[in-house]
Structure 1
């Protein structure tokens, strides 16, 4: 997926294989999770999930993804793309 080209639209869709999920806190103290996926072209993408999404099982079922017995395929739609200090940042 060519993120640079899609930054112009500011909204992207992404499908990939689950690699890892990390809990973090923003500089303002707001909790969020970072989900890392790998797409079919072997490109890794990190997606920030704010607490409201990451802790809501009807929006994101973390337990099912983390405990999958085979590779978990995850799809996101309408992700917001931000460019912060030259780094592409995608959030949901």
Structure 2
């Protein structure tokens, strides 16, 4: 499912226009992004939680040449599925 299909499904399920569904989805995604940028965790009970963790700098290998390269430290977003979501897909 891509973003357009998700907007269509949200509009149909909620009985709202596609424009309203798009606005709601973009608001949700924007607020999750803002919260994660601040270093906060976003948690939806039963669905899952997003958090930011720091990946330290490390040495890696270029797979085509085998040469050692330096990989910079960076922040990564992690998602952990909640119990209801895990149960639904199993």
Q: TM-score range by the shorter chain?
A: under 0.3
Using the size of structure 1 for normalisation, the TM-score is 0.22
- Decide which structure has greater helix share: 2
TM-score by length of 2: 0.22
* Higher RCO structure (Cα 8 Å, ≥6 apart): 1
Query: Whose strand fraction is larger, Structure 1's or Structure 2's?
Result: 1
Which of the two has higher C-alpha Rg? 2
